[in-house]
Each structure stands twice: as structure tokens, then as C-alpha cells.
Copies of this chain bind each other. A is one copy, B any other.
Amino acid sequence: MTAPPATLLPASASASRTLTRCRGLVRPALTAAVERLHPYPGEMAAFSFGWCEVGGGPAVRPGGGKGVRQALAVLGAEAAGAPGAAAIPGAVAVELVHAFSLLHDDIMDGDETRRRRATVWKAYGTGPAVLAGDALFALAVQTLAESPGPHGGAAIRHLSGALGDLVRGQAEDLLFESRPWTGPDAVRTAEYRAMAEAKTGALLGCAAALGAVLAGAPEPVVTALDRAGRHLGVAFQAVDDLLGMWGDPEVTGKPVHGDLRRRKKTLPALAALAADGPAARELAALLTADPGTADPGTSDAAVRRAAELVERAGGRATTLAEAHHHLNAARACLASVPLAPAAAGELLGLMPFLVDRAL
């Protein structure tokens, strides 16, 4: 059974169909991989995928991510003219790496909920969550290392490069927390973009590229897919920042203005501060207020005011423009090499869905 051409469906329906098809293709191998884990990290991994509750019982409300990375891997193989099944070891590996990175990032960031459930460290404890992340990481490498076919070595090199970038991006993000909002050591928007590309884009690019690598695609195709994924990552992070500031908590599952309240460096706030002008200066004063003062910049009123000022100083518009710029750059990467038209169409259909999400 083949899906109808993407162009005949509304964008979001077409993208959902692509995601569902790819999840269906990859799920048996992903499940089989997770079942290879020791039962203890295995349960934590299954919990993080939304497959079970604490204790291992069936999930009350089965959840989990949309499976963007596995879809990029499958479409990468198809775009290179191979069956999507060629990408399966790569698709499993990138989903496992994504799960590992969420698990460890939630520990580093102290986040207690994700997708409306407790995070793994909150549900099982920090030590076990460190272990579960390590187990997912090792399983990702093992899955790709043991994949049959002549392209395993190149695939592992791609994945290990992305892993290095991902960790480097997370290191930058952690360091941003302790850097000032203003002055010569302030985080510049270019640095933020580089962090987002490494932390979010490297794995998205790796996913699409891995599919092509496993399909035996020529180097220019692999590189174009990798670059497209990296641009997509920057766009994705920009939108994530917008949602963290103005998204509906009912939809995002995150508290309103949560990033501002925690004084997390985000692109809208950094872009607003970089704009200069009275709104930017008032925003800087709010964000740098001593937490010990009467209005420490974290009260509801101060946080609402900060969000207003970010918008007034152009932070929202700049961030949205940034997202669209990188989305277009991703499209241009795809257009730069010969790809199988149906898969390229699905890739193009998926991109705005990921970026526009709830805006």
C-alpha cells in the first residue's frame, strides 16, 4: 500500500501520514533493540518512550515523541533511491541517541516533567537515570555497529561525529546559564545559533544523512541531507524558544513564560537585548535584577512584562524570521542534489510541520 502523493493532502495531514508510516516501519526493530537491554534500564527506556508506567505496567496514556528522527532516516534512504527499510538500523540508532540525550539533559536542566509525565530521573532517581541514558547510548552504537551491509563503518563515523557535536552543544547551553545577559561576555545570537545547530541540528542532520549512507548514496547527497537537517535543527530550536515564551501551556505542556522565569538564555530574549533601544534596556534591567530585591524579575508581573518587552524589542519577529530563514535554507539543501521525487516531497512536507507546530 502506498501513501497518496503528499501534495494532494493538507500539509499537516500529509506530514502526520509520513510520521505514522515511518514509525510503523521502524517500531519492530526499535522495540527489539530496547528488549536487548538489561530489564532495569530497559524499563526506564520504555518509560521514557511512553510505552509503560513506572513498574513496567502498560502505559495509561501511550505517548512518546513524534519520531521525527526515525522519519528523517527512512526518508533519507528513500530519497537516495533505496527502500526505507535500508535505513532501519540508522533510524533505531538516532531514536536511541535522542532518548539518551533527553534523559541526561533532563538531569542537567533539573526538568521534572516531559510530555506531561515525570522525567526519568524524577520517577526513578538520578543515578538510575544516568545509567538508563548510558544504556541507550551504548545500544545505539551497538545497533549501528552490528548492522549488516557494507556501509556500517561510514554510518558509525557519521553517528559518532553527531554525538560529539551534540555533547558540545549541550556544554555550550550549560555554560550560557552562567554567562551574563549584557556586557562583553553576553551570549551573542551567533553563538546561540551555533549551539542550537550542534545540540539539536547535528542529530537531525545525522538522521537524514544516515539513511542515505546506509542506502549507499554518493557523498554530495549525504552532505546535502546532513546540512538540511542541521538547518532544520536551528529552525526547530527557534520555534521551541518561541513556544517556551508564548506557547499555550495546554498545548506545549510547559508553564507559560517558563524560560523567562528561569532566566534561561533563549533566542527571542537574546535577539531583543541585541536590538538596543528603550525596550531592550528595560528588559536588560529586569533580567539582571538581583534575585534578592523586592522585584527580582521573576515575579508573575515582572515575567509578563519581560515577555512584552522581548516582543516590543523585536525578539519575537527576529526569532520567527530566523526560523523561516533556516527552513528555507533546509529546502535549498534538498533542491541542490538529485533526490527521488516522492521521498523529497515527503521531506519537504515534513519540514514546515515540524517548525510551525503550534505557532
Q: Is there an interface contact between B130 and A142, defined as CB atoms closer than 8 Å?
A: no
A152 at the interface (CB under 8 A from B): yes
Residues of B within 8 A of A159 (CB): 141, 145
A171 at the interface (CB under 8 A from B): yes
Q: Is there an interface contact between B142 and A127, defined as CB atoms closer than 8 Å?
A: no
Q: Is there an interface contact between B142 and A164, defined as CB atoms closer than 8 Å?
A: yes
Residues of B within 8 A of A153 (CB): 145, 152-153, 156
A139–B127 CA distance with the chains assembled, in angstroms: 22
Main DSSP-derived SS at the A contact region:
helix
A175 at the interface (CB under 8 A from B): yes
A135 at the interface (CB under 8 A from B): yes
CB distance from A59 to the nearest CB of B (A): 22
A324 at the interface (CB under 8 A from B): no
Q: Is there an interface contact between A157 and B146, defined as CB atoms closer than 8 Å?
A: yes
A160 at the interface (CB under 8 A from B): yes
A267 at the interface (CB under 8 A from B): no
Partner of A130, one of B104, B146, B164: B104
Closest to A128 in B: B174
Name 17 A/B residue pairs within 8 A (Cβ), A-sorted: A38-B168, A41-B167, A107-B130, A108-B128, A126-B126, A127-B174, A130-B130, A134-B137, A135-B164, A138-B163, A138-B164, A141-B160, A142-B163, A142-B164, A145-B153, A145-B157, A153-B156
Contacts A135-B168, A139-B164 aside, 17 further interface pairs with beta carbons under 8 A come to A38-B171, A40-B174, A41-B167, A104-B134, A107-B127, A107-B130, A108-B130, A127-B174, A134-B137, A134-B170, A137-B137, A138-B160, A138-B166, A142-B161, A142-B164, A145-B153, A145-B160
Residues on A close to B: CB < 8 A? 36-38, 40-41, 104, 107-110, 126-128, 130-131, 133-135, 137-139, 141-142, 145-146, 152-153, 156-157, 159-161, 163-164, 166-168, 170-172, 174-175
The 7 A-B residue pairs with the shortest CB-CB distance in the complex, in nearest-first order:
A108-B127, A138-B163, A142-B160, A38-B171, A145-B160, A38-B168, A135-B167
